[in-house]
Amino acid sequence: MKNKIKTIAFDADDTLWINEPYFQEAEKQFCRLLEDYLPQHSVSQELFKTEMKNLHLYGYGVKGFILCMIETASRISNATIPVKLIDEIVSIGHELLQKPIELLSGVSETLDKLKGNYRLIVATKGDLLDQERKLKNSGLEGYFHHIEIMSDKKVGDYQKLLKHLDCKPENFLMLGNSIKSDILPVMELGGYAAHIPYHVTWAHERHEPVLKHENFMELKSIADILSYL
């Protein structure tokens, strides 16, 4: 691998900066708002059902999350939820969209050492405006040759990205916190992938089986990739 890699792609949320804990706190706020209708754990389950039902329509990101909270609230209240509560749900979403950017440990230092030796890109899912805001506020924009906000991260999506970059799979390395989105599709194409576990993972992105593959690396932190390169 060491002599093959030319392009290194990084997931953004929970790989470069903190994201999922903010969503989980927002979900807790939402569940507390609706505990007069259902126990909080049941509200959480209903919200997840709504998110999965609408994922093909809304994609990933805060705006879809807001719409799913409102739909869930309407359903479990039998369309009797007060307008005031809807306003509070929207406020939860607005707060999410204005969260400060907190880089994860070792990110800037690792990018410093890789820049100039590799073509660095961001390949992440999410809402376009929100991800652009986060990247701008992160102070990391200058490290990256290309930014790709992807509607999904399946094999076909990576094929399009590699074609756009004019990069062969064997020259491509993806780093991210999701086995399902950042690792498996890239390895299926013949690329290299490094998993950087994050202590909080959205249920939709969880992958339980232990993964073993010659193109796969399990890291403890982003800085560990330097020992492979």
Residues 52-108 have pLDDT tens digits of 999 999 988 899 999 999 999 999 999 999 999 999 999 999 999 999 999 999 999
Q: What is the CATH number of domain 7-17+102-227?
A: 3.40.50.1000
Judge whether residue 132 has pLDDT over 60.
Answer: yes
Write down the pTM of the prediction. 0.88
Determine the Cα–Cα distance for residues 49 and 67; give it in Å rounded to an integer: 13
* Under 8 Å between Cβ of 183 and 174: yes
Determine the Cα–Cα distance for residues 66 and 211; give it in Å rounded to an integer: 34
Options 1.10.150.240, 1.10.3470.10, 1.50.10.10, 3.30.1330.90; CATH for 20-97 is 1.10.150.240
Percent of the chain beyond pLDDT 90?
Answer: 83
Ranges 107-111, 141-145, 155-159, 203-207: which has the least confidence: 203-207
Determine the Cα–Cα distance for residues 127 and 144; give it in Å rounded to an integer: 19
Determine the Cα–Cα distance for residues 167 and 144; give it in Å rounded to an integer: 16
Determine the Cα–Cα distance for residues 196 and 223; give it in Å rounded to an integer: 10
Amino acid at 76: I
Contacts of 102 (CB under 8 A, 6+ apart): 17, 18
pLDDT in the model for residue 170: 96
Enumerate the H helices of 97-178 as residue ranges.
107-114, 128-138, 155-165
pLDDT in the model for residue 202: 46
- Crossing angle for the helix pair 62-76 and 20-33, nearest 10 degrees? 20
- The structural domains of the chain, with segments of one domain joined by +, span 7-17+102-227, 20-97
Determine the Cα–Cα distance for residues 10 and 221; give it in Å rounded to an integer: 13
Amino acid at 41: H
pLDDT in the model for residue 107: 97
Residues 2-47 have pLDDT tens digits of 789 999 999 999 999 999 999 999 999 999 999 999 999 999 999 9
